[in-house]
Amino acid sequence: MCGIVGYIGKEQAAPFLLDGMSKLEYRGYDSAGIAVMEGSKIRLEKCVGRLDALRAKIAGDMPVGTIGIGHTRWATHGRPCDRNSHPHADESGKFVVVHNGIIENYLVIKEELLAKGHVFLSETDTEVVSHLMAELWDGDFESTVKKILKVIKGSYSLVFMTEHEPGKIICTKKDNPLVIGLGEGENFIASDIPAIISRTRRTFIMSDGEIATVTADGVWVQDINGTPISKKVFVVNWNAEAAEKGGFEHFMLKEIYEQPKAIRDTMTGRVDKENETITFPELNWTSEGMAQINKIFIVACGTAYHAGIVGKYYLEQLARVPVEVDIASEFRYRSPLIDSNTLCIVISQSGETSDTLAALREAKKLGARTLGVTNVVGSAVAREADQVVYTYAGPEIAVASTKAYTTQILAMLMLAIYVGRLRNTLAEDRAKELVRGLGMVPEQVHELLENVDQIKVFARQYASCEDAFFLGRSLDYAVALEGALKLKEISYIHAEAYAAGELKHGTLALIVEGVPVIVLATQSDVYDKTVSNLQEVKAREAVVIAIGFVGDENLKKYADSVIYIPKTDKYIAPLMAVLPLQLLAYYAALTRGCDVDKPRNLAKSVTVE
């Protein structure tokens, strides 16, 4: 996730910017840059790579000036390279901007600006903002920023500087974080508190739609209509480590709570709420092309493999193409039957997993069309697959994958709706219904994450158990697999997931008094059958925790306890049903004193076979 810093005051800006950016390194980045007001001119320095590369570039020739902005970039639009690094300027160099987020309508704006003669240097969405600033400049900094906000759509934290009004920095935000730090004769801007706590602990958090004018002497906040807003200043008492985790005890918990935003960002530019359709401008597939595809392989490892299983249900049911899901380390050695009418989708958060990459290469060698679904722009999967769909979860630091998984299954659902419409296997009305449902997900996920006390109680209650079972049918089974993996990898409790109908073919022998069994019951077409299986384990005196939709009173009759998730479409349910499972695993691991973010024997990115 990009990191933003800004300084205006009495000291040199560049050393603070570099230090602040280093405190945001935990957010993940692939390039860095700063812009400093040197006299009356803005000097821009940026390059791909770590902060040390930027430091080396300006060593002995640091920009001199007391006003500046800095940025660590986590690539979303355009690969990591010098040109795509922030800050971005217009061609005069007088207008400069840094950005965190996604400008959804940047292509339309870019075309208009190109027609007016603007020359673009990068492939980023952000660069349109600096050109827009030059285009809309009306002699007043605040007024110009307000005009920009009326044009751009999407999610953003934006920080602007201009040579025309050198004594101020203006910033604003929507759906991305921004904090202001207050000093004596100096003020600070940052994406996150760690960047500023070495210099001030007096801060306030910007809210969506607010515009702050920051000078050395003060900060004025207003809305787009010019109405002044008074902000409540608070004193941060976190230490640096706690600040990195945004006040959460672990990165895993922070990442679980980042899911509403990760989901919203992954939908950006794809879920077209106005026309109630799904678009994938990066794919541009046609009905003719899709009619030729007669087989899809989905290949991945671990959690990404589980996302692939969800994807199989989606693609088979909505797009009516046969799908095989394979573990990458198996696929690469088993001579899969592939031809040019096969589409091979590889899913990988990191885009660097060795087996997944080998599987991708094998599929290409055998003549398949390939698509990478990855979270890291410019990763090996992104470079080597014929086409890429990015998930925009932001960097995932905890070893156990959470927000990457939800964005992967979201990507698969959007893809299945898209392909289903192209192949005409999904009725327009049904597609619209799904798109409407998707539009509600970020808010519903947020709501669910605000009410987790019951989950904490269950996790503590069952943290001492030796075994746990997860059951479900259809998509619930696919989610159960992920629930079991989460529990075992971070709490070390032995956990198994079963297709509920399969239990009685052997594993039912393990169900004895007091064994916790988590039963997912969100799939209407197999609901009754799942409830029968629930009763089977209950009859063996298992402790049953059911997961179902709000309002499902029936479950209370059979289960010991029920965790309710917001009511949604059966295809959207996995996006919500997995959340209690992630939280159960997290709080069980916490109770058992496990190293949640770094479970034993595991690594975040498995780049060896």
Which residues are identified as catalytic?
Answer: 2, 604
Nearer to ligand F6R, 268 or 353 (CB): 353
Distance CA(374)–CA(430), nearest Å, equals: 28
Which residues make Cβ contacts (< 8 Å) with residue 254, sequence separation at least 6?
245, 246, 248
Element (H, E) at 133: helix 127-136
Integer-rounded Cα Rg, in Å, for the chain is 25
User: Which residue's beta carbon is nearest to the bound ligand F6R?
Assistant: 302
302, 331, 422 from 305: Cα distances, Å: 5, 12, 25
Taking the complex as a whole, the smallest distance from the CB of residue 329 to ligand F6R amounts, in Å, to 11
Positions that interact with ligand F6R (CB under 6 A): 301-304, 348-350, 353, 356, 400-401, 489, 605-606
Taking the complex as a whole, the smallest distance from the CB of residue 398 to ligand F6R amounts, in Å, to 8
Q: Are strands 295-300 and 342-348 parallel, antiparallel or unpaired?
A: parallel
Taking the complex as a whole, the smallest distance from the CB of residue 364 to ligand F6R amounts, in Å, to 17
Distance CA(48)–CA(146), nearest Å, equals: 31
Q: Which three-class secondary structure state does DSSP give residue 453?
A: helix
Nearer to ligand F6R, 350 or 522 (CB): 350
Question: In DSSP terms, which residues pair with 348 in a beta bridge?
Answer: 374
- DSSP 3-state helix, strand, coil percentages of the chain (rounded to 5)? 40, 25, 35
User: Both tokens of residue 129?
Assistant: 């903002």
Question: In DSSP terms, which residues pair with 214 in a beta bridge?
Answer: 169, 219
Which residues make Cβ contacts (< 8 Å) with residue 428, sequence separation at least 6?
421
Cβ pair 240, 194 in contact under 8 A? yes
Taking the complex as a whole, the smallest distance from the CB of residue 404 to ligand F6R amounts, in Å, to 6
Nearer to ligand F6R, 349 or 474 (CB): 349
Residue type, position 590, single letter: L
Nearer to ligand F6R, 349 or 406 (CB): 349
Taking the complex as a whole, the smallest distance from the CB of residue 607 to ligand F6R amounts, in Å, to 9
Question: In DSSP terms, which residues pair with 97 in a beta bridge?
Answer: 88, 160
- For residue 170, the tally of other CB atoms under 10 A from its CB is 24
CA 330 to mean position of chain CA atoms? 28
Q: CA torsion, points 185, 191, 192, 197, in degrees to nearest 10?
A: -20
Q: Is 514 left (phi over 0), alpha (psi -120 to 50) or beta?
A: left
Distance CA(214)–CA(10), nearest Å, equals: 14
Question: In DSSP terms, which residues pair with 41 in a beta bridge?
Answer: 38
Taking the complex as a whole, the smallest distance from the CB of residue 286 to ligand F6R amounts, in Å, to 29
Which residues make Cβ contacts (< 8 Å) with residue 545, sequence separation at least 6?
458, 516, 517, 518, 519, 559, 560, 561, 562, 563
Cβ pair 397, 255 in contact under 8 A? yes
Cβ pair 332, 373 in contact under 8 A? no
Taking the complex as a whole, the smallest distance from the CB of residue 273 to ligand F6R amounts, in Å, to 29
Distance CA(395)–CA(605), nearest Å, equals: 12
Taking the complex as a whole, the smallest distance from the CB of residue 261 to ligand F6R amounts, in Å, to 19
Give alpha helix (H) positions in 224-301. Answer: 240-244, 251-257, 259-267, 287-292
Taking the complex as a whole, the smallest distance from the CB of residue 606 to ligand F6R amounts, in Å, to 5
Cβ pair 290, 419 in contact under 8 A? yes
Taking the complex as a whole, the smallest distance from the CB of residue 300 to ligand F6R amounts, in Å, to 6
Nearer to ligand F6R, 126 or 408 (CB): 408
- For residue 118, the tally of other CB atoms under 10 A from its CB is 18
User: Both tokens of residue 127?
Assistant: 């660069």
